[in-house]
Structure 1
Amino acid sequence: MDGDPQQPRPPQLRISDADRHRLAEFLREAAGEGRLEVDELEERLEATYAAKVYADLVPLVVDLPGAASVVPTSAAPAPVEPHAPASSSYVALPQPANSTAVLSSQTRKGAWVVGASHTAFSLMGSVDLDLREAVFTVREVVINANTVMGAVDIIVNAHTQVIVEGTGLMGAFEQSRDKVAADFGPYSPIVRVRGFALMGAVTVTRKPMPGQKRGFLGRASS
C-alpha cells in the first residue's frame, strides 16, 4: 500500500496501482507456501487488478494469515489463525526448468515457479514465457534463451527489472518498447536474459498484468 499499510483507510476509498501490486505479491507468496491452488491464485490475481476500493480487497485475503499487512486495518477482517506450514513450498505450482519448441510452440503463463535459471530453446518454432504472474524463488533469475530460425518471447510486468545480454546473429535479441511504465522497488525481481538468436528473434516486452484495464499506469493494456 502507499505509505504505512496499517494506517486506517476508509473501506470505500479508491486504491492505487501500488496497492494492487502489493496485494498481488502477497497472493503469490501465499501460493508459493501452498496456501492457494493454481486456479485460486489466478482468480484472485484477476480480482485484485479489477478492484476499485479497499473493501474489494478484503475477500481476497480474508482466509490468509498476515492479511493486515496488505489490507488497511479499517477494511480488514479480524485476524485469522495462521495455517499450518505447507509441507513443501510451491507444491501446487508447476516448476519447469526448460521450455523447448522444435517445429512447434510452447507457452508458459499464469502462475508457475521460476527457479534461479530457466532454459528456453526454439528451432523453427516459438516459445512464449509470460513471467507476469510467475513466482520467483530467488530475486535474480537467468533466462537462457536461444533460437534458430524461431522466436522466444518473454513478457514481464511493470515491477520486474530486465537485463538483456544476448546476441542476435542475422536476427534480433532485444527488449522491445514497454507497453506499461516501469515501476521498480527495492524488492523488484531481476530477469537477466542471455543467449543468441540465429536468423530468429528473442524479445522481452514489459506489459500490464493480466486483467488490468486499458489506461493503467498511463499505457495501453496488452
Structure 2
Amino acid sequence: MRASDTERDRVAERLREAVAEGRLETDEFEHRLDAALKARTHGELAPLVRDLPSPGSTMEPAGAASPVPAGRDGTWVERIGGPATSRRAFAFWGGFNRGGRWTVGREFTAFAMWGGGHLDLREARFEEREVLVRCFAVMGGIGVTVEPDVHLEVDGVGVMGGFGEYSPMSEEAEPVPGAPRVRIVGFALLGGVDVQRKWSKAGRRKLTGGS
C-alpha cells in the first residue's frame, strides 16, 4: 500500500522522539529519517520503527501499530521492505538459481538462452509489496516457485513453447491480506517458463501447526 505524507510524518516524529530519548545514535537517526522521507510504501516505513517503543512508553513497540497487514502467520510484515539483493539473472549455455533468503527487486528480469534457471521466492523478501518479474526463455527454460498464499498474476506468451502456471490441487490456497503481489510476464520461444505454487517446508509446518 502507498504511504501518505501524514504517515511519513508520523514515522519521522517517532524517530525524533527516539533520538531524544537516547534510543538511537545520531547517524542511525539521520539514516532512518532520510529513508522515512523517501518511503513510498507502508512496507518501507514499518521496519524503520519496528524496534522502537511508542513515545514515552517502554512496553509497546511502535511498529505494532503499523498499518501493514500480516499474513497467515505474521511473517509477511517482516518480509516486505528493504534494499533488493538481486534484480536480474542471466543464463547462456549455463544456468542460474535464486533461492533461500534473498530480496527480490520491485522489477526483476530473468533471461535464459540454451540454458535454464530457477527463481524460488518462497523464503525471499520483497523490496515492495508489488513486484514485477520478467522472464524470457529462448531454447531454454525458467522455473518460478512461489508460496500458494501470495497474489499471483501470470501473463506470458509461448511461441513453439510454453508459458504458464501449474500447481497441484494439494498446494492450492487463497491469497492472504498483506501478502505480496507477484506479476510474472514475458515470453518463451522454443522453450518454457513454468510457474508453480508450492509450500516451502517451513510454510507447510506453520500451516499444519507442526514444530
Quick check: 1:97–1:119 contact (8 Å CA) kept in 2?
A: yes
In the alignment, which residue of structure 2 is the partner of 1:51? Answer: none
Equivalent-residue separation in structure 2 for 1:213 and 1:114 (angstroms): 22
Match of 1:202 among 185, 193, 198: 193
Is the 8 Å Cα contact of residues 119 and 143 (structure 2) preserved in structure 1? yes
Show the 5 A alignment for 1:35-184: 89-90=82-83, 95-178=85-168, 180-184=171-175
Residue identity matched to 1:204: V
Which stretches of structure 1, 4 residues or more, deviate above 2 A after TM superposition?
23-29, 210-214
User: How far off its partner does 1:187 sit?
Assistant: 1.5
SS of the residue corresponding to residue 22 of structure 1 reads: coil
Give a deviation string over 1:21-47, Cα, whole Å, max 9, x none: 424335536xx6xxxxxxxxxxxxxxx
State the number of aligned residues.
138
Q: Deviations over 1:143-186 (max 9, x none)?
A: 11001010110000022121111100000000012451223122
Specify the code of the residue in structure 2 equivalent to 1:205: Q
- Secondary structure at the aligned position of 2:186 is classed as strand
Q: Say whether the 8 Å CA contact 1:159–1:189 is kept in structure 2.
A: no
Unaligned runs of 5+ in 2: 1-69
Native 8 Å contact 1:180 1:208 kept in 2: yes
Does the 8 A contact of 2:165 with 2:195 survive in 1? yes
- Structure 1: segments with no counterpart, 5+ residues: 1-18, 33-88, 218-222
Cα distance in 1 for residues equivalent to 2:130 and 2:71: 23
- State TM-score, norm by structure 1: 0.56
Report if the CA contact (8 A) 2:113-2:137 is conserved. yes
Take 2:195 and 2:143, find their aligned partners in 1: how far apart are those partners? 6
What amino acid maps onto 2:115 in structure 1?
A: G
CA RMSD of aligned residues (A): 2.5
Which has more strand, going by share of residues? 2
Q: Sequence identity, in percent? A: 34
TM-score normalised over the length of structure 2: 0.58
Whole-angstrom distance in 2 between the partners of 1:207 and 1:142: 19
2:135 partner SS: strand
